[in-house]
Amino acid sequence: MPPKILILFSTTYPYQATHENAFLQHEITWLCKRFDQIVLIPRFKTADRFPLPANVVVEDSFANIFSRSVTKSELVSLTLSSGVLRQEISGVWNSPSRVLALKQLVWSLNNARRVRGWLEKYAIDKQIDFANTLFYTYWLGDATLGISLLKRKVPQIKLISRAHRVDL
């Protein structure tokens, strides 16, 4: 039987002492018993890292995709080329309060496209077997959207996300 793999996207875990760590530290113990390998993919990294079980690896290269600032031309290009964005903005222009939401949507879509591009390359480089891999995002955010965008191209992707009160 092929190994069962969990790829977990977080904001900082296993780095730093943040609220995320209080939950994930306990979850990892349980998840290690159910998956042959767990790949932790934090968006941000620091020098301090929690000790991890033997079947857990950390992929730090994901944090590098957010180290470069986005240019205005990239955002304009995204705005003009995104079917998701066009679908979401119908009717927004007549409401000033929605303009801020539109700006947030543009940034989120840009980040999601970065996630999708990184994950597509990572999956090829690591020869990810999507049939035996579960993607888990700790926050319902840009990583979740980015993975779901890739799922359009790779329907075998299985994705779950934790929705916190702030996400709803």
Q: 8: pLDDT confidence band, cut at 50, 70 and 90?
A: very high
What pTM value is reported for the model? Answer: 0.83
Q: State the average pLDDT for the chain.
A: 85
Q: 70: pLDDT confidence band, cut at 50, 70 and 90?
A: low
Over residues 9-47, the pLDDT tens digits come to: 999 899 876 778 888 988 999 999 999 999 999 998 887
The angle formed by the CA atoms of residues 40, 130 and 82, to the nearest 5 degrees, is: 85
